Every structure is written in structure tokens, then in C-alpha cells.
Amino acid sequence: MGVFDHWHPVVASSKLRQKPIGIMLGGKEFVLFRGAGGKIGAMEDCCVHRRARLSRGSVINGKLQCSYHGWQYDTTGQAESPGTPKLRVCAHAFDTAEKHGYVWMKRAGAQAVIPEFDLAGYEYVCARDYMVPAPLEVVLDNFTEVEHTPTTHANFGYDLSKMAEVRTTVEQSTDTVRVINTGPQKKTPWVVQQLAGLKTGDIFTDDWVTYFSPVYTQYEQFWNDPKTGAERRDRYRIYVFFNPIDQDRTELVVFAYLRARTAARAAFIKLTRPLLSLIVHIEIVCDVKMLSSLADKSPELHGMKLSRFDRVLGLNRDRIQSIYRGESPTSSVSVPTIQA
């Protein structure tokens, strides 16, 4: 079991058209192309003949043609040489699928399923990807603790002066880690309050569940009136996938949805989608900028002084190691003391 045994959303379906695309995942380069009937082919971005980069080639009559000597590949990796017609070879093709507006990829034959999204009552807001110059563990650390939200985030987050009031509960199973945070929403501009249907000082709940095949987190975010306890208008449901590009870079693939309680609200979400999408985008960019500027991006926890919000870091690492990377549980992650 390893990284390639899980499905990853590697490129937006809309970006994969006539031209092949080169991507990177888990430190390896791959080419993706649309072959006969729009079927997607994926294989290492290296011609089996003399190692030309296949993503420099072109698709001709449903086959990917290498730009060096013209060998042609179908989506299963079968290749032939026009100059030596009896010579037939096979490249190692990966499984592909299209779902949620993205192309997904995994090692052929690996037993894995593409995550389903539970979206009854939710409206689509946006799907986009971001490259973060930091390793997977360090990026997931940021996306599963809320202590950074008062200072790093623009709009969604807790009030720094009331951070001590924020309650954080961690629940774990063998294959998930859930963090539920509740506390006072920080000051937010009027326009964001109107668009997002919340008020400064509301009780803001962040309920996050992280899965590890592949590594992704489902975020549920909602606000309650601090006096009456009534839930505000909107709930965000956001899925963030963490694709390890190589040891130093992680790609975030973000799918955002908003709950529509009425048909009128659903219509309004559609109408204001670019603005709602911008709100989500601003928050993600805040994280990307902070992660880009860290003084040390090593995933090593030792040497850090961890707080009560950081319990999740070691739990995530354990599961990344055992479920996602398929490494021996005997080399369990050791976590420095956590301050209560």
C-alpha cells in the first residue's frame, strides 16, 4: 500500500482537453490525455522507447503520440512504433475516473474508492486547486487546527482575545480524526456578514473530519446566535484534498458547497456564487501564504512546543503513515508534550 493506491483528484476535468497534460504526484511525473471516445489515459511521463517526456506529445486519432520518434500509446498503455510495426510494447497505465468535476487517478488494480460527498440540501459554490510549497503533514497541520484562525484568516475564525474560551474536542477512530471547535466569531466586515449570513460574536462551530484514503478533510462550518442559540442562515461544507506533489509541495483541491434551506436561498447562492467563491478563496489563500512563509517546513514534531489545539497533529501523522503511506505501525509517530 502506498500513495498511488488511493484515488487523487489530479486535474480539473475542464483543463484536460485536446492537449496532453503533465502532472506530478508523490514525486513522480505523469501524463494525462484524452484518447478515443474521451477516455482518459494516465501513465508515467516518460516514453518507454528512449524516455522522452510524453506530455510534450500530441493526441492523434485517439492515441498519444510521442514527440521524439512518434510511438503511439492508447489509454491502456499499449504502444506501437510506426517505424517498426511489429514492435508492440506496453507502458504502465494508471486507472482514471472523472468525478466532482476532477480527473482522479490511482494505481491500476488498487482497491480504493473515490470519496462520495454527502451534499443533500447543499449548493455548489466552487472547486479549485492551490499549490503550497510545504510537505503534506505541515499543510494538514494548518488545516486541522483553529489556533491560527484569529491571526491568519481574513474572515472566518475566532476572536483572539477570546481564544481561551474556544472549546476543542478531538474524536478518533482507526481511520478518521474529527475535531470540533466552538467559540466566538471574530470581527468580520459588514459585507461578509451579509453574504455569509453571520454576525461578529456569533458562536462559530468548525466540525472537521479527516480521512486518509486519500488524505482529505470534510469541513462543516456554521454559526449560532449567542443569545438564542438559533443557527444562522448558512452552513458551509468544504472538502479539501491534500495531494503530495513531492516532499516539498502539496496541492490543495478544494470543493466548496453551501446549504440552501429554501429554493429562494438556492437561487440566491447561484446568483452570488462568484462572491461566495471569492470568500472561500480568500480564506484558503490566507493559509497558503502563511504556509509558504514558515521558517522551517520540516514535518518533524520534535522541537515544537505544542498547544492544546495541536493534539490532532500526532493523530494525523499516525494515520498518514499507516493508512496513506502503508508504512509499518511499529514506527509510530512520537509527539512532544502538549500544553493543556
Q: CA nearest 294: which of 141, 175, 164?
A: 141
Interface residue with ligand FES, options 28, 69, 107, 297 (CB under 6 A): 69
279 binds, among Fe ion, ligand FES, none (CB under 5 to 8 A by kind): none
Tell me if residue 289 falls in helix, strand or coil. helix
- Scanning 214-222, 263-271, 279-287, 297-305 for contacts with Fe ion by CB under 5 A, the matching segment is 279-287
Output the smallest distance, CB 155 to Fe ion, in A. Answer: 11
Asked if 49 interacts with ligand FES (CB under 6 A), we say yes
311-319 and 136-143 helices cross at what angle (nearest 10)? 140
Asked if 21 interacts with ligand FES (CB under 6 A), we say no
Asked if 45 interacts with Fe ion (CB under 5 A), we say no
136-143 and 273-292 helices cross at what angle (nearest 10)? 130
50 binds, among ligand FES, Fe ion, none (CB under 5 to 8 A by kind): ligand FES
If you count them, how many residues does the chain have?
A: 340
Asked if 44 interacts with ligand FES (CB under 6 A), we say no
Rounded Cα–Cα distance for residues 261 and 241 (Å): 27
In Å, how far are 26, 172, 211 from 314, measured between CA atoms? 21, 12, 14
126 binds, among ligand FES, Fe ion, none (CB under 5 to 8 A by kind): none
Tell me if residue 7 falls in helix, strand or coil. coil
52 binds, among ligand FES, Fe ion, none (CB under 5 to 8 A by kind): ligand FES
Tell me if residue 131 falls in helix, strand or coil. strand
CB neighbourhood size of 78 (10 A)? 14
Rounded Cα–Cα distance for residues 38 and 84 (Å): 27
Asked if 68 interacts with ligand FES (CB under 6 A), we say yes
Rounded Cα–Cα distance for residues 149 and 217 (Å): 17
Output the smallest distance, CB 192 to ligand FES, in A. Answer: 52
Interface residue with ligand FES, options 4, 30, 71, 102 (CB under 6 A): 71
Q: CA nearest 76: which of 96, 61, 58?
A: 96
49 binds, among Fe ion, ligand FES, none (CB under 5 to 8 A by kind): ligand FES
Asked if 124 interacts with ligand FES (CB under 6 A), we say no
Output the smallest distance, CB 53 to ligand FES, in A. Answer: 9
Interface residue with ligand FES, options 52, 89, 119, 209 (CB under 6 A): 52
Q: CA nearest 248: which of 141, 138, 133, 137?
A: 133
Enumerate binding residues for ligand FES (CB under 6 A): 47, 49-50, 52, 66, 68-71
Enumerate binding residues for Fe ion (CB under 5 A): 287
